[in-house]
């Protein structure tokens, strides 16, 4: 059903976690993928595994020109760009607003919004012309924190709401040429990084505790892994979803039906 053969896809944060699982699935379905990521080690591993199907660009999503470099590399090597996946992100570790000093609050705001929000603005701006040429689409990794409190602290929650606002406005502005949608994973077992300004204010949680907490909070009682979300990306990236824009697919074990109990 899902056909990605010969699609050229650009993803940020594809060297780890959800982005890595999505990259692997895209390649397995026949796409070629350009990745922008800070992690040289993660990029090298993917290059070793997938060879010419993947193109790795070391860089920072907060730097507009790094996206321009990645888009140029995608079009030069693969001839075109069909899909952009904005995915690289960082976390606030559930830091409590009242506990954080004003200086740390401000530094955390600048850093987290620069990556989670401006990083998505940058990527959308750098890709829209190429996507217009191919009638392509964008997919944003948002989060259940884009809908509900307690999927993070205020920094992360506000950034995820902002990503959904950006996605919906761009879907409106880019129609009928480019579709823009989102996937909202629930808590997932990855290495999602807590930003340095907030580290003194958060407790580190071991994987076992994290797994238990994720499992008990969603009705399907799944301790989600990155692979649990790839089906939503495959659908949105493909032409099978040509009638879908401005939508969020929640992949969160059913958080919206938790009920009042």
Q: Which one from 10, 109, 148, 156 is the annotated catalytic residue?
A: 156
Beta bridge partners of 32: 8
Among 11, 178, 192, 232, binds ligand NAD (CB under 6 A): 192
Half-sphere exposure of 7 (CA within 13 A, CB side): 29
Q: In whole angstroms, how close is the CB of 89 to ligand NAD at the nearest point?
A: 3
Q: In what order do the strands lie in the sheet with 179-185?
A: 54-58, 32-37, 8-12, 83-86, 137-141, 179-185, 248-251
**Quick check: 223 binds ligand NAD (CB under 6 A)?**
no
**Residue 57 or 100 having the CB closest to ligand NAD:** 57
b vs e for 76-102, b when ≥16 Cβ sit within 10 Å of the residue's Cβ?
A: eebeebbbbbbbbbbbbbbbeeeebee
Q: Near ligand NAD by CB under 6 A, which window of 37-45, 104-112, 128-136, 170-178?
A: 37-45
**Residue 37 or 82 having the CB closest to ligand NAD:** 37
- Residues 175 and 2: their CA atoms lie apart, in Å, by 23
Peptide bond into 176 cis (omega under 30): yes
**Residue 125 or 242 having the CB closest to ligand NAD:** 125
**Quick check: 38 binds ligand NAD (CB under 6 A)?**
yes
Q: In whole angstroms, how close is the CB of 180 to ligand NAD at the nearest point?
A: 16
Q: In whole angstroms, how close is the CB of 112 to ligand NAD at the nearest point?
A: 10
**Quick check: 122 binds ligand NAD (CB under 6 A)?**
no
Q: Is 156 a catalytic residue?
A: yes
- Supply the DSSP string of 99-135, one letter for each residue: GS-HHHHHHHHHHHHIIIIIHHHHHHHHHHHHHHHHT
Both tokens assigned to 50: 């997938």
**Residue 192 or 236 having the CB closest to ligand NAD:** 192
The site for ligand NAD (CB under 6 A) is made up of 12-13, 15-19, 37-39, 42, 60-62, 87-90, 115, 141, 143, 185, 187-188, 190-193
């Amino acid at each position: 059903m899902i056909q990605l053969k010969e699609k050229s896809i650009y993803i940020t944060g594809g060297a780890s976690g959800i982005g890595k699982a999505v990259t692997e699935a895209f390649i397995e379905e026949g796409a070629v993928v350009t990745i922008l990521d800070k992690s040289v080690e993660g990029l090298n591993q993917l290059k070793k595994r997938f060879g010419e199907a993947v193109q790795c660009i070391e860089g920072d999503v907060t730097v507009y020109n790094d996206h321009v470099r990645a888009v140029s590399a995608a079009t030069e090597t693969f001839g075109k760009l069909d899909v952009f996946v904005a995915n690289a992100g960082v976390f606030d570790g559930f830091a409590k607003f009242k506990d954080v000093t004003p200086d740390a609050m401000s530094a955390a705001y600048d850093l987290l919004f620069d990556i989670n929000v401006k990083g998505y603005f940058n990527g959308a701006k750098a890709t829209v012309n190429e996507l217009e040429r191919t009638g392509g689409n964008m997919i944003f990794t948002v989060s259940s924190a884009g809908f509900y409190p307690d999927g993070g602290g205020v920094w992360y929650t506000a950034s995820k709401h902002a990503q959904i606002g950006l996605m919906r406005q761009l879907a409106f502005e880019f129609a009928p040429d480019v579709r823009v949608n989102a996937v909202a994973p629930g808590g997932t077992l990855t290495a999602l990084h807590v930003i340095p300004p907030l580290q003194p204010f958060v407790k580190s949680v071991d994987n076992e505790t994290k797994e238990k907490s994720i499992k008990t909070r969603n009705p399907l009682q799944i301790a989600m892994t990155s692979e649990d979300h790839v089906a939503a990306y495959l659908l949105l990236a493909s032409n099978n979803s040509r009638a879908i824009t401005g939508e969020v697919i929640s992949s969160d074990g059913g958080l919206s039906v938790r009920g009042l109990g």
